[in-house]
């Protein structure tokens, strides 16, 4: 008798999410564990979006900031550079300048930035707030309206502000990121609340909150893993949206990507270290189930894409 | 099934104030109501009671037993307070219970009291370290507590093993493990070991309206595997037992007349068994 591999099949699947207007991208859609092509359908590659900002990335560490020198002062140039030079399949525009503790840019200024970036690129755009609960619920509805017709992803809706943000995303036909803080039950609860207000679960993206390698990655990994198993094995519909790994912002602030070689020669090249750190965090989360990743360093993105090439 | 009325707890504001002012009225009223609702024992939780615990427990026991002719479950970590309570306890109304000992050496002395006063005692299956991971860890700790009880001269029939119920909202996977632990504990001895749970902790942190639902059906799941006693809301447990026949049917996959109740039972069973992921709105899905 010949050998026959045991195959696991699941009753549930992940919703495919299609974003963008001129150029569309689809992620999610599989009915099996990440990259288990031998057990089910994995119709789409994970989508990696290049992160850009509405203001110059002064707080980014030098090794990733210098990569965008000459373009990062202007979000339009920056977006074009990512698309045309780096081949970005998607752009994630973070409106960090709207944060009240930072430049405190107004919703009008945010609308201007968003509109000009949308006009400048063909790739789908993910529009992120500054992660300030009140300011986001002021800014995101306005930019969602301005971006109508572009089929963007808006984020992030949290327990404290989901109603206004979800209503705006719904009214303007966008997809929505629902973020909870590393708690699988609260993640499910938020998705239930969103669907109860009429937001289609097929248009959601779950963000269980990211963390960098060495800084609690295993928590994110475990929550993602369990969300995916609930989606597949328990056929839990509110847990079936694809998941986001917001990798760049969590990686590029830790000491391991910044400590200079003069101080810690045994840690090796600071540039290489940062790239590897971002790539490893991203690949780990992809293995846990993330289908949408937001990243910063082009070399890290390149590594992750290569990794996907081999798995898919 | 022995229901130990949980309501006389220092955590409740009204009870705490009555304890502080030594006002018998509210204490006796709550004790009486629980007795009417079917409690066979009254828990008196005075907290750690580091100052004046002895006098407070004495007062609680006599205040309770003045109105209800039931035994008291003495609930504190204060050794002196437990002994003071045992001394004044009227055993004509039943044997008192110590809440509790565990596998933590600091709590072994409670076994001394249980032996000296020949009373019942709860053995919480936790050690000094973290919480037990599953039913097997709980059973291993239970075996150690049993050995310790025998060493101190406490008859095993006086020991009630408590697997420690955890919150379903944060540690869902523990809910079914506790049910399995209650099954396992009984097999540790012949005649079977007695078991007890602090039931309402299952729904701690859940929205108010779903707490009684989780409490009742979790209680029934434990009851059917042979739970001996529960520190719980006596009114809820009474309701639960009235729903027992329906609940058994739903568990077997049969239909019951009240469709709405059937759905609630099914969803709650699925959450307890871990077939669906818990969320505060799990009933609305």
Q: Tell me which residue range forms the domain holding B259.
A: 2-284
Q: Note whether A192 contacts B284, CB cutoff 8 Å.
A: yes
B169 touches chain A (CB under 8 A): yes
With tokens 């789908």, the residue in question is: A124
Q: Report how far residue A286's alpha carbon sits from residue A233's, in angstroms, rounded to the nearest whole number.
A: 19
C-beta separation of A192 from A256 below 8 A: no
User: Residue B170: its chain A contacts at CB < 8 A?
Assistant: 183, 185
Task: Inform me whether the C-beta atom of residue B171 falls under 8 Å from chain A C-beta atoms.
Answer: no
Q: How far apart are CA B31 and CA B43, in angstroms?
A: 9
Interface test mutation site (partner A, options B203, B277, B278, B283, max chain A beta carbons within 10 A):
B277
CB contact under 8 A, B280 and A189: yes
Question: A36-90, pLDDT tens digit by residue?
Answer: 999 999 999 999 999 999 999 999 999 999 999 999 999 999 999 999 999 999 9
The SS3 of residue A17 is strand
Distance CA A3, CA B244 (A): 50
Nearest CA in chain A to B207: A189
B-chain residues within 8 Å CB-CB of A189? 279-281
- Residues in chain B with pLDDT < 70? none
B contact residues 260-279, partner A, Cβ 8 Å cutoff: 275-279
Q: Strands (DSSP E) along chain A, which ranges?
A: 17-19, 25-27, 47-53, 90-94, 125-128, 153-157, 175-179, 204-207, 243-245, 290-295
Q: How far does B122 lie from chain A, in Å, by closest CA? A: 32
Chain A interface residues (partner B, CB cutoff 8 A): 183-186, 188-189, 192-193, 196, 226, 230, 234, 236, 238-239
Cα of A191 to nearest chain B Cα, Å: 10
Kindly state the DSSP code that residue B11 receives in the 8-state scheme.
T
Task: Return the pLDDT at B130.
Answer: 84
Q: For chain A, which residues make up each domain, given as ranges?
A: 17-311
Find the CB nearest A236 among B169, B172, B276.
B276
CA distance A28 to chain B (A): 21
Going B7 to B13 to B17 to B23, the CA torsion angle's sign is: negative
Across the interface, do A234 and B277 touch by the CB < 8 Å criterion?
yes
- Total domain count, chain B: 1
Residue closest to B201 by CA, chosen among B237, B234, B164, B256: B164
Q: What is d(CA B236, CA B265) in angstroms, rounded to the nearest whole number?
A: 15
Q: Mind telling me how many Å the CA of B267 is from chain A's nearest CA?
A: 13
CA angle, B89 then B94 then B98, to 5°: 60
Model pLDDT, residue B143:
97
CATH number for position B247: 3.20.20.20
Partners of A184 on chain B (C-beta within 8 Å) are 277
Dig out the tokens for A180 from the structure: 């909870």
Q: Tell me the average pLDDT across A121-148.
A: 98
Q: What is the 3-state secondary structure (H, E, C) of A192-261?
A: HHHHHCCCCHHHEEEECCCCCCCCCHHHHHHHHHHHHHHHHCCCCHHHCCCEEECHHHHHCCCHHHCCCC
Start-to-end CA span in chain B (Å): 33
* pLDDT, average across residues A181-207: 97
Q: How far is CA A233 from the centre of its chain?
A: 24
The answer to whether B21 contacts chain A (CB < 8 Å) is: no
Which chain B residue shows the shortest CA-CA distance from A223? B277
On whether any CB of chain A is under 8 Å from the CB of B95, the answer is no
Measure the CA–CA gap between A279 and A284, rounded to whole angstroms.
9
- Mean pLDDT value of segment A204-224: 97
Which has the closest alpha carbon to B183: B134, B146, B241? B134
How far is B171 from chain A, CA to nearest CA, in Å?
A: 9
- Say what the pLDDT of residue A85 is: 98
Q: Which residues of B touch A236 (CB under 8 A)?
A: 276-277
Q: Which pLDDT score, from 0 to 100, does residue B218 have? A: 98
Question: How many contacts, defined by CB atoms under 8 Å, are there between A and B?
Answer: 34
What residues of chain B, 35 to 64, have a C-beta less than 8 Å from chain A? none
pLDDT tens-digit readout, A147-182: 999 999 999 999 999 999 999 999 999 999 999 999
Q: Using the CB atoms, write b or e for A68-90: b if 16+ within 10 Å.
A: beebbebbbebbbbbbeeeebbb
Distance CA B24, CA B248 (A): 41
Instruction: Closest CB to B279: pick one of A185, A226, A234.
Output: A185
Say which residues have a Cβ less than 8 Å from residue A190's Cβ, sequence separation at least 6.
A157, A158, A159, A162, A178, A179, A180
Which of the four pLDDT bands, split at 50, 70 and 90, describes residue A1?
confident
Instruction: Determine whether the interchain pair B277/A184 forms a contact, defined as Cβ–Cβ distance below 8 Å.
Output: yes
> What tens digit of pLDDT does each residue of A7-36 get?
999 999 999 999 999 999 999 999 999 999
A222 contacts in chain B (CB < 8 Å) = none
Q: What's the CATH number for A17-311?
A: 3.20.20.20
Write out pLDDT tens, residues A251-294: 999 999 999 999 999 999 999 999 999 999 999 999 999 999 99
Determine, for residues B275 and A234 on separate chains, whether the beta-carbon distance falls below 8 Å.
yes
């Amino acid at each position: 008798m010949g050998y026959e591999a045991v195959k696991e099949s699941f009753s549930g699947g992940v919703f495919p999410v299609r974003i963008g207007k001129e150029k569309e991208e689809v992620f999610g859609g599989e009915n099996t564990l990440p990259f288990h092509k031998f057990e089910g359908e994995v119709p789409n590659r994970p989508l990696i979006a290049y992160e850009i900002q509405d203001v110059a990335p002064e707080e980014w560490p030098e090794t990733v900031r210098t990569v965008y020198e000459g373009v990062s002062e202007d979000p339009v140039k920056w977006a074009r550079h990512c698309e045309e030079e780096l081949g970005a399949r998607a752009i994630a525009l973070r409106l960090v300048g709207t944060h009240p503790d930072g430049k405190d840019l107004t919703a009008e200024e945010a609308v201007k930035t968003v509109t000009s970036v949308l006009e400048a690129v063909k790739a789908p755009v993910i529009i992120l707030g500054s992660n300030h609960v009140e300011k986001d619920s002021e800014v995101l509805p306005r930019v969602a309206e301005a971006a109508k017709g572009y089929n963007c992803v808006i984020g992030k809706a949290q327990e404290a502000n989901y109603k206004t943000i979800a209503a705006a995303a719904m009214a303007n036909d966008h997809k929505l990121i629902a973020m909870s803080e590393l708690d699988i039950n609260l993640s499910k609860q938020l998705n239930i609340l969103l669907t109860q207000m009429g937001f289609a679960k097929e248009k959601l993206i779950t963000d269980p909150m990211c963390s960098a390698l060495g800084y609690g990655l295993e928590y994110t990994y475990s929550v993602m893993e369990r969300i995916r198993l609930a989606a597949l094995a328990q056929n839990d519909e509110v847990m079936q949206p694809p998941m986001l790994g917001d990798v760049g912002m969590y990686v590029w602030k830790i000491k391991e990507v910044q400590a200079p070689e003069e101080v810690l020669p045994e840690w090796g090249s600071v540039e290489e270290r940062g790239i590897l750190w971002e790539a490893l965090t991203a690949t780990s989360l992809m293995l846990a189930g993330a289908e949408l990743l937001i990243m910063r360093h082009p070399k890290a993105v390149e590594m992750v894409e290569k990794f996907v090439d081999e798995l898919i | 099934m022995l229901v130990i009325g949980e309501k006389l707890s220092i955590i409740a504001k009204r009870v705490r104030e009555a304890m502080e002012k030594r006002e018998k009225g509210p204490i006796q009223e709550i004790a009486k109501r629980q007795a009417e609702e079917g409690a066979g024992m009254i828990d008196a939780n005075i907290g750690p009671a580091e100052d004046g615990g002895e006098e407070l427990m004495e007062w609680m026991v006599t205040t309770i037993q003045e109105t209800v002719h039931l035994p008291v479950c003495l609930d504190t970590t204060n050794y002196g307070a437990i002994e003071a309570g045992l001394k004044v306890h009227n055993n004509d109304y039943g044997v008192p219970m110590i809440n509790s000992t565990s596998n933590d050496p600091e709590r072994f002395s409670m076994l001394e009291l249980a032996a000296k006063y020949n009373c019942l005692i709860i053995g919480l299956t936790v050690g000094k370290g973290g919480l037990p991971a599953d039913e097997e860890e709980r059973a291993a700790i239970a075996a150690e507590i049993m050995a310790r009880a025998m060493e101190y001269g406490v008859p095993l029939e006086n020991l009630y093993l408590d697997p420690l119920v955890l919150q379903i909202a944060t540690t869902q996977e523990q809910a079914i493990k506790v049910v399995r632990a209650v099954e396992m504990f009984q097999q540790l001895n012949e005649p079977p070991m007695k078991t007890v749970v602090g039931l309402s902790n299952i729904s701690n942190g859940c929205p108010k309206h779903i707490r009684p639902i989780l409490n009742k059906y979790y209680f029934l799941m434990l009851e059917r595997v042979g739970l001996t006693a529960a520190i719980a809301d006596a009114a809820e447990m009474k309701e639960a037992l009235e729903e027992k026949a329906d609940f058994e049917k739903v568990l077997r996959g049969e239909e019951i007349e009240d469709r709405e109740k059937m759905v609630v039972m099914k969803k709650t069973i699925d959450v307890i068994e871990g077939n669906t992921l818990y969320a505060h709105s799990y009933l609305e899905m």
